[in-house]
A and B are shown apart, each in its own frame.
Chain A
Amino acid sequence: MHFTEIISDIFNIEKDKIFDDLELQNIESWDSMAHMELISTIEDTYELTFTGDEIVDIKKIGDIKEIILRNKKNL
């Protein structure tokens, strides 16, 4: 599944409303449970493991992309 599809699916938002500077706190459906689902889905899809600090430091969509790229995975 493509990155944008994952975000769209988890937060139930249109793909064209997903951009790098979109802050998670501005997504209506973002909460602790959605955040956990986001982390576990990204980890499974891209076969990577977030550090504890990364999990709590993610503020916007671009932060997630950065972590994926830092782990040398393709979006």
Chain B
Amino acid sequence: MKIEDVNLLITGAGKGIGRGLLEEFLNLNCKVYVFEKNSELISDLQDNFKELFVSQCDVSDDESVRSAMEKMYNRGFYPNVLINNAGIIHSESLINMTSKTQRLHSRENWRKVMAVDLDSVFFVTSRFCENLIMSRKKGLVISISSISAYGNPGQTAYSAAKAAVNSLMKTWSKELGPFGLRFAAISPGFLNTDSTKSALNSNQIKTLERKIPLKKLGNVENIFETAKFIIQNDYLTGNIIDVNGGLII
């Protein structure tokens, strides 16, 4: 697909990777529609990008997704590329050995992570694909996964959700490839973003950089370049593309 033909729907583009991708695609004059849950971030997006379409949407809630999709179509926006970016990072081990009473991984946290990081991909992608199939148009789904999908100790729910997202990309690429739909995931390692800086202190980041073969954190532009490559390569589907500086090979 040519970049100039892209009509992009991106979820969770108010900050972080999503915001970076949004800005890069707008710089290429792509038409972009955003699903964002946070009201403050929506206001910020609307203040900064006057022409941008934004709908408030909780992508972990199917009814919210249905309503936002309907609004998007009513506005005459029919995306052919979806980037499933919305998500939360949550760190919690299966057994908490520091507690005498609450040793088990919180069930509530498990459900929340699964809802935001996995259910959302299922809800948004299914409705996106239904429209493309019924209108017999080609399209592409890119999901932002994580290096944690390989299995990251201390991130039980998050690792499982991201591994499941990778599996969905492979499954749907086989299921819907004959109908001209492509699927891929980008699996970032550690990026130089606010969320990394808030999760790790400077010493931890230095230690991490020593472990990464390319000796530095990645950045959002690396993720954007990968997304652009996936869009432009019409023979690519079902792939999980690691962008982690060689941290896991």
| Interface-located stretch among B119-127, B129-137, B196-204 | B129-137
Q: Is A49 within 8 A of B175, CB to CB? A: no
Q: In angstroms, how far is the closest chain A Cβ from the Cβ of B132? A: 9
Residue pairs across A and B with CB atoms within 8 Å: the count is: 21
Q: Quick check: B133 and A52 within 8 Å, CB to CB?
A: yes
Are the C-beta atoms of A40 and B178 separated by less than 8 Å?
yes
Whether B175 pairs with A36 at a CB distance below 8 angstroms is: yes
Please provide the chain A residues from 19 to 67 with a CB less than 8 Å away from any CB of chain B in the complex.
33, 36-37, 39-40, 49-53, 55-56
Query: Chain B contacts of A52 at CB under 8 A?
Result: 133-136
B150 beta carbon closer than 8 Å to chain A:
no
Size bin of chain B's contact surface = under 10
B135 surroundings in chain A (CB, below 8 A): 52
- Interface residue B73 (Cβ < 8 Å from any Cβ of A): no
Complex: chain A residue closest to B134, CB-CB: A52
Expressed in whole angstroms, the Cα–Cα distance for A55 and B176 within the complex equals: 14
A37 CA to B135 CA, complexed, in Å = 18
In the complex, A13 Cα to B154 Cα: how many Å? 52
B136 touches A33 (CB 8 A): no
* Residues of the A chain whose Cβ atoms lie less than 8 Å from the Cβ of B229: none
Measured in the bound complex, the distance between the Cα atoms of B70 and A71 in whole Å is 32
21 A-B residue pairs with CB within 8 Å:
A33-B175, A36-B175, A36-B176, A36-B178, A36-B179, A37-B178, A39-B178, A39-B179, A40-B178, A40-B179, A49-B136, A50-B136, A51-B136, A52-B133, A52-B134, A52-B135, A52-B136, A53-B134, A55-B133, A55-B134, A56-B134
In the complex, given contacts A37-B178, A55-B134, what are 9 additional A-B residue pairs having Cβ atoms less than 8 angstroms apart?
A36-B176, A36-B179, A40-B178, A40-B179, A49-B136, A50-B136, A51-B136, A52-B134, A52-B136
Which of A's residues lie within 8 Å of B, judged by CB?
A: 33, 36-37, 39-40, 49-53, 55-56
